[in-house]
Amino acid sequence: MRTQVGIVGAGPAGLLLSQLLSLQGIESVVLERRSRDYVERRVRAGVLEHGTVQTLREAGVAKRLDEEGLVHDGLNVRFAGHTHRLDLADLVGRGVTVYGQQEVVKDLIAARLDAGGDLRFEIAETALHDLDGQRPRITFVEKDAAGELDCDFVVGADGFHGISRQHVPGRTEYEHTYPYAWLGILADAPPALPEVVYARHPRGFALHSMRSPAVARLYLQVAPDEDLAEWPDERIWAELRRRLGDDEGFRLTEGTVLDKGITPMRSFVSAPMQHGRLLLAGDAAHIVPPTGAKGMNLAVADVRLLSRALGAFYLGGRTDLLAAYTETALRRVWRATHFSWWMTSMLHRAPDENPFTERLATAQLDWVVSSRSMATALAENYTGLPYEQDWSYR
């Protein structure tokens, strides 16, 4: 086979890139090791930045998002028994939209297939070759038959555990592992509040969010080595009630638990994000803890840069945007990495926390909710920083 851009990974990054390239008349093939059913059902983040929503609209895949997405103009911060609402729209003139990552994936898959896009699922033994030359290759096995894809560029959008990053020689990897994890549940229960609640409690962090007006998404801080079997539904609900309770009489809505799991937390950045004709995007190059809701949004920002850089190459003969990809992308990545670390550190109880560090965290939170400057800084990062200038392709 022959195409212009070979994309490894059919998550939001790979699928969105394929869609944005198609709108410019640039061909691509997407290879995914999992089944279509698996990637469409995989529960992940659901808070979309303002710019992510705009990008999905530009890509022509936002019809269902605009109909079903929950627009949030504020968020709630809860500590010391009180709830404080930050008005995002008032602070920075924009908000966020709650719409599950798996729904974004469904929309992108449908759009690509409707347009005749080449998406291949359940691909095995994927390997990358000749990345230093002008004709890189991807070899793979599809339905027990060997295949080979010749292309101009390879984009590794295959996640943290994928093969692509290993093909960047001399890379530097920065990593921080947090001393806690999240126990998350999906519940068949209407959210108790219309906006997200971030809660710091002496027993640990808790988050009240949602996926729809009928489905709540809730999290508890737990130890990294926590055994999920030790958390029956009754214990989870009891702990959520404790940590999310406040002096204003908040009442948690409970229901059937549809899904639950434990997610470890790490910060990870790999640089550079490219080598020869290989370009990395999304979790293949960076991971952030979910506290700041940046994971998928960073992937979209990477892809937005890549789509314009590849468009400039094919439509205008330019190579400068591709050459600057790592530097440009990492500016946002490191800002989001710091914001995610800050939110995580401020809201979680450290295993060795003492009265002094607890009071420091409370003072930090009090500053956020009482100072317009601090609240604005949080809102600016949470709703998404402006994109780099959108360059002309020609």
* pLDDT for the residue 179: 96
Block mean pLDDT (10 aa), the chain, length 394: 97 97 98 96 86 97 96 96 96 96 96 97 97 96 97 97 97 97 95 95 96 93 96 97 91 94 96 98 97 95 97 95 96 97 96 92 96 98 84 38
The Cα 367–Cα 355 span in angstroms is: 18
DSSP 311-334: HHHHHH---HHHHTHHHHHHHHHH
Give domain limits for the chain.
5-70+98-174+266-350
Alpha-carbon distances, residue 234 vs 77, 176, 255 (angstroms): 25, 33, 11
Exactly one of 178, 180, 219, 382 is catalytic; name it: 382
From the options 3.40.50.11540, 3.50.50.60, 3.20.20.100, 3.30.70.100, give the CATH code of 5-70+98-174+266-350: 3.50.50.60
**Main-chain dihedrals φ then ψ at residue 333, nearest 5 degrees:** -60, -50
Catalytic-role residue among 50, 72, 167, 208: 72
> Would residue 84 show up in a list of annotated catalytic residues for this protein?
no
Total residue count of the chain as it appears in this document: 394
Region for residue 178 given its phi and psi (left: phi exceeds 0; alpha: psi -120 to 50; beta: otherwise):
beta
For residue 43, what pLDDT is reported? 74
pLDDT at 389: 57
63 part of the active site:
no
Instruction: Give the largest Cα separation in the chain, rounded.
Output: 64
Of 12, 290, 325, 348, the active-site residue reads 290
Taking the alpha carbons of 352, 355, 359, 362 in that order, is the dihedral positive or negative? Answer: positive
Assess whether 294 carries a catalytic annotation: yes
Which among 167, 201, 275, 294 is annotated as catalytic? 294
Task: For residues 190 and 357, give the distance between their C-alpha atoms in angstroms, rounded to a whole number.
Answer: 35
Give me 142's structure tokens. Answer: 């599809």
Give the H or E element holding residue 88: helix 88-92
Active-site annotation holds for 290: yes
Report the pLDDT value the prediction gives residue 45, as an integer from 0 to 100: 74
Is there a catalytic annotation at residue 198? yes
Contact present, 296 and 44 (Cβ < 8 Å): yes
Active site residue: 99, 178, 198, 325, which one? Answer: 198
* Residue 203 to residue 218: CA distance in whole angstroms: 16
| The pLDDT value given to residue 252 | 93
